[in-house]
Each structure stands twice: as structure tokens, then as C-alpha cells.
Amino acid sequence: MKSISKICLIICSVIICACTQNDVLKVTSPNNHIEVIVDVKNESVHYAINYKDSLFIKPSKLGFELKGDRSLDKNFKVIGFQKSHSNTVWSQVWGENKDIVDNFNQLTVSLQERDGLERKMNLIFKVYDDGVGFRYEIPEQKKIDSIKISKELTEFNFSKNDTAWYTPANFDSYEMLYKKAPLSEVPSANTPITIETTDGFFASIHEANLTDYAGMTLLKSKKKDNFSFQCNLVPWPDGVKVKRKTPMLSPWRTIQITDRAKKLVESNLILNLNEPNKIEDTTWIEPMKYIGIWWGMHLGTHTWTLGERHGANTIDTKKYIDFAHNHHIQGVLVEGWNTGWEDWGKKDAFDFVTPYEDFNLKEITQYAASKNINFIGHVETGGDAQSFQEKLDTIFSMFHGLGVKTVKTGYAGGIQTKGQYHHGQFMVNHYREVVKTAAKYHIMIDAHEPIKPTGIRRTYPNMMTREGVRGMEWNAWSSGNPPEHHTILPFTRGLAGPIDYTPGTFDILFKNAKNRVKWNDLDDGTSRVNTTLAKQLALFVVLYCPLQMASDVIENYENQPAFKFIEDLGVDWETSKVLNGKIGDYITVVRKDKYSDDWFLGSITDENKRNVQVTLSFLDKNKKYRAEIYADGSNADWKTNPQEINIFQEEVSFKTTLELKLAAGGGQAIRFVSI
């Protein structure tokens, strides 16, 4: 059994105190740089956060408005508090790092209303060296049985008008480009929202362990100064945000704080605030690389629907399986394999199990197995989540019976259940039900149009990856993703968890895509990929994803020396480090393969060309390495000459300093092999 193991456990201190006097409580991070102050003096509860000598979050309100009941937000007294410290190390089934340090100080504050109802509420704060998590607990009590939260009153009152990278709050989508603006000009935001402060440190607001609750967005507070925000939960159709029974634990509200931007990317706060792995036997869970019958449909050369240009046919799928087999790729995804695509948008359009007549599912899954290739199933619901949920066991048992271990899910379009949003409690619970049922059938999940990641992969490590990002597909049928996009993602969306961006488009200008047919309204005919070829390779390292898809059609990979990098690339990591980075400008990431001595480097820049120096001190001091370098050609430029790539080798050691020459919109990918 390969399960999460506790390597060491040190509980240094537990102080329990019952008191009514102590109405200002403080807890600091183990290194004392972060201080959280909880203030119950004025009969309502506020928290504030200091980082080193700076006030980062001014006193910010906590509590709830409840439907059909008095608000749970004032008239409180502290009836007890508890402080503790814990320092443990746990191991991931898969991930950016094998071992994770979980080192924090905790403060639990027990509150009770002074009069009338005398209802109880606890606040739990965990303070780490890389940030703060806090959550509400409403214990089981006679006065509150079921609760209907009409508003979570949590505030984030930033002390200064710092700079934010954000996407505007949206209850259905995370597929927007990030904007950079002073907090005063941010009207609302999805999380994560990332902030660079004038005091020189960095922070990001998000949530961890989003379970049986509505997703959180942030909304500018109208009453306060211009950089104070309130939690704005995604509602049910009747306007209520969360429907629960007591005892109730909310998700963690997270505030990652680090002195350098790169350390935000390295932070494990979100994972640390989730529960340990609940899947006992994890031997069937395997990160991998895959290709698929997919890009052709987005380009408009193929269709999901049956017809002359139908992508998912038995003959072509076998070609993909053969290509994967010959090129060290472990999986093949096929979309448009099942009936129903003609009825897009209608209720019960898909039964999710009937293949089109030109697609022999049984023959294909057997062929894939004979070549040791994972066939990746696809369930597109078109927003009809309810119908999918009713058939979960039927669908997953069918796939299990066929030896299929991975399923990509999709919820394109609005949620068909009237008044429901992708990010509300109804769908949060649906997505979880899918992951749990899939686990029963030993199936890994890659969810598109998902709820944002909040670290659930720790508890259910079959929840491999998800979209929830403006990914590669946008390049096929819109003005696409500008070069800067990828230099923002690691510091924003990437902090939440793996990204199914699907890099690896080699035919950058779609020169080989003849006879394209426009299939959606966003396609203005100008589409292309806005990077160099070397940057496409670097993205495989920069954007972490345990199921890493190479997006292009296989014809564009044949006889391409650059594809060797994807063939050689590891899928699971012993350790990951961010060597340098500036949000929106550039980033360099290195990862050590879990199963060999290989290291991989990815470095990318925005629309500006730049030289980045990296010292290879991360390499083993006792080894020499061959650096297999995939660099932008000397005249490469994302706009005018995206395809030029320079592939060469060099002998290096931990003492070597490399100068990475990144073209405008370019990047560099390197494999270090010990020799």
C-alpha cells in the first residue's frame, strides 16, 4: 500500500484556556514573521494579519448572516481558546514534491453569544511560515440544527492599495485572462487573487478543502475604503449560499504570504490544509503523459459529431495508440466517441455509454491494452451534470470493465439544472461525488469546466488535474492567450493546484491544418498560438500537471526532433523548485524525476526577449550531467518566427551557470541526464 505516511510528529505545546477576559488573541507563524490578531472586544469578531513590520490585513469582520435566523456575527464572548504547535512531514502519492513539511501554530477560539440564543461558534487559525488558513466551525447544538447561510461575512480589508493579478468573479468560469490592477480598481475577483505589496512581499487569497459549501469569490466592499473586499459565495437558485446541518466546518480561507514571488509558487499551504489521503490502495493511480483525438476538433478540421470528418474513428484511434506506444506516451484520449453530440445543449443529449457506429470501443480498448497504452475515456455533459450523476455507476463500471483507468469530464455551457452555477454548493457536491465514485472503480479524473482546485487531490489522489484555466484550446478559435498569460498562471491559478493547460502545439501557425471549418462564434479567423516552439516545450515543466497532454495532432509530431523532450519528460516528481520569476514577466522551474536521476528545466518569458542566468546548484554534487537543451533559435520570435528551435547538448555540473536566451514570447526546456 502506497499511502500517505507520517514521518515525524512533534506536538510541542497545547495550551487550553477557559476565559472571558482575553478578548484579543494572537498567534504567530513558527518563524514569527506572520502574526494573526483575533479581536472580540467590540462584541463582534475581527481578525488582522501582520507580516514582518507591515500591517497586511486590517481588522476584518468574521461571521455569518443566516436565512430565517439571527445573524451569527456579534454579541460574542470568548469562552475558551486553545493554542498548539505541530510539525510533521507527509508524503504525496504523486505531486510536485514527494515529501511535504506541515509546520504550523494553531489557535482555536471558542465563542458564545452573550445573551438570548447563546449559540456557539469556533474559529480555527493555522499559521504557517508561508501563510494563514482559518475556518469556521459551528458545533452541533440545540439552537442550530440546519443552517442556511445567506451571507458569509468574512472580509479581507487590505491595508494598502497594492497591485493585484485577478480574474473578475464569475460563478461559471475561470477561463479569463488575468488582469493587473491596483486593488482599488478590482471590482470583484475569483480566487486565487495574487497581490504584490509596496512593502515588497507577495500574497494570495484562496480557499482550501472546499467541501459541501459554495465556492468563494471576492467582492469590493461598498461601505469601506477602496481596497476592502467581502466574501461573496456562489448562490443556490433561491439565493441561499450554503445549506448544511451542524456540526459544520467551513472551507479554509487562505492567505499565502511570502517574501518572494517564487516562494508563493513553492508554497504547500493549500495541500497542508486538506485532509490526508482516504484511498487505501493507490497502486492504480499513475501520473502520465497523453495525446489525443482532440486538437483537430478545436481547429475545426475534425468534428465531435458523426460524419465525414468525425475525429473519433477506430482507424485513427489505433494510429494514435501506435504513436503513443512508439514514443513513450502512456495514454490516448478520445473525444466525440459517444453518441449525442448532435443534440448539444439538450437535456439527456448523451447517455455517456453508446459509441458512434464508426468507433469500436471494445476493439480499441483491447488494442490499447495490447500496446500497454491507457485509453482515456471522455464524458462531456454539456452542463447536464444531473444526468451524469444519475448514471455514475453505470458509466464508471463500464469503463472499469474495459480496463479504462482515466476519464476526462466536461461541463461546457451553463449548468442545465435551472438556476445552478458551476461554482455553487450543488456543483461542488456533484464534482466530489464524481471523484468518490470514480475512486470506487479505480478511475482517475481530469475535470474540465470544474470547480477550482482547493487541494482535494491530497484526500482523493485520483482527482488528478482539471482545467479551470484559459488553456490551449482558446488559441484554436479566439484571439488566444498572449505570451504574458503563461508567466502569470504559475503565480495565480497555479497556486490552487494542477492545471490541464495542454501545451505542446507544434504547428504554431496552423499551416498544416487545411480545410478548417469555423465551429464557434469566438473564432474570428486570426487564431494561432502566441509562443515560440521552445516555449511550448518549457510549458510542460512550468505548468504542473500530473496528466500532461501533448495537444497537437500526431502528424505534427512525426519526425520532429523537438518531440524527444516530451518523450523523455518525467511524469512525477521527487522535488520541484522555482529558480526565479517575476509575475507577468518570466519564470524558471526545475523538477527532479521521481524515478531517475533526471532533472527537467522550463524557463519562459512574456512578449519581451530576455536572458536569464541560472546556476545549476540543484544538481547532485557528485554527478556530471548531459544537458539536452531545446532553445529558441537565434532569430526566433513568437510573432514573426515562432518555429525556429536550436537543439544541442552540453556537459554541465552543479557549478555551471547557464545563460538562457529567451526570444520574445519564447522559452527554453532542458533535460539533465546524469552521465
590 C-beta neighbours (distance < 10 Å), count: 22
- Cα–Cα dist 560/538, whole Å: 16
Q: Is 185 in the site for Ca ion (CB under 5 A)?
A: no
| The residue type at 423 | H
Told to check if 196 binds Ca ion by CB under 5 A, we report no
Angstrom distance (rounded) from CA 23 to CA 38 = 8
Q: How far is residue 323's CA from residue 302's CA, in Å, rounded to a whole number?
A: 19
Q: Identify what 606 binds: Ca ion, ligand NOJ, none; CB under 5 to 8 Å per kind.
A: Ca ion
Nearer to Ca ion, 138 or 664 (CB): 664
Question: Whats the size of the chain, residue-wise?
Answer: 675
Please, what is the minimum distance in Å from the beta carbon of residue 412 to ligand NOJ? 4
- Residue identified by cell 544538481 is 619
Q: How many CA atoms lie within 13 A of 237 on its CB side?
A: 7
390 belongs to the catalytic site: no
Give the whole-angstrom CA distance, residue 667 versus residue 608. 11
What is the rounded distance in angstroms from the CA atom of residue 129 to the CA atom of residue 296?
46
Q: Is the dihedral of CA 298, 303, 309, 310 positive or negative?
A: positive
Among 129, 552, 606, 644, binds Ca ion (CB under 5 A): 606
Choosing from 494, 584, 602, 667, the residue that interacts with Ca ion (CB under 5 A) is 584
The listed partner (ligand NOJ, Ca ion, none) that binds 289, CB under 5 to 8 Å by sort, is: none
625: cell is 550531467
Q: Which is nearer to Ca ion, 433 or 585 (CB)?
A: 585
Which residues 452-511 are close enough to bind Ca ion by CB under 5 A? 484
* Least distance to ligand NOJ, CB of residue 408, Å: 7
Identify which of residues 296 and 483 has a Cβ nearer to Ca ion in the complex: 483
Is 585 among the residues that bind Ca ion (CB under 5 A)? Answer: yes
Q: Are strands 667-674 and 599-605 parallel, antiparallel or unpaired?
A: antiparallel
Q: How far is the CB of 291 from ligand NOJ (least distance, A)?
A: 13
* Angle at the Cα of 495 from the Cα atoms of 423 and 219, rounded to 5 degrees: 45
- Closer to ligand NOJ by CB, 467 or 644: give it: 467
| 585: partner contacted, choices ligand NOJ, Ca ion, none (Cβ within 5-8 A by kind) | Ca ion
Q: How many residues bind Ca ion (CB under 5 A)?
A: 4
Of residues 152, 168, 105, 92, the one with CA closest to residue 131: 105
Residue 207 vs 335, nearer CB to ligand NOJ: 335
- The residue ranges that bind ligand NOJ (CB under 6 A) are 294, 335, 380, 410, 412, 448, 467, 473
From the list 207, 380, 473, 484, the catalytic residue is: 473
In whole angstroms, how far apart are CA 587 and each of 155, 337, 611? Answer: 32, 38, 12
Which DSSP letter does residue 363 get?
A: H
Residue type at 39 in one-letter notation? D
Which partner, Ca ion, ligand NOJ, none, binds residue 584 by CB below 5 to 8 Å per kind? Answer: Ca ion
Smaller CB separation from ligand NOJ, 172 or 380? 380
Measured between alpha carbons, how far apart are the two ends of the chain, in Å?
A: 33
Least Cβ distance, residue 484 to Ca ion (angstroms): 5
For residue 162, the partner it binds in ligand NOJ, Ca ion, none, with Cβ less than 5 to 8 A by kind, is none
Closest CB to Ca ion among residues 235, 494: 494
CB of 171 to ligand NOJ, least distance (A): 18
Strand partners, 57: 49, 158
In the complex, the smallest distance separating the C-beta of residue 542 from ligand NOJ, rounded to whole angstroms, is 20
Q: How far is the CB of 387 from ligand NOJ (least distance, A)?
A: 15
- Supply the DSSP symbol for 276: P
Active site residues: 473
Binding residues for Ca ion (CB under 5 A): 484, 584-585, 606
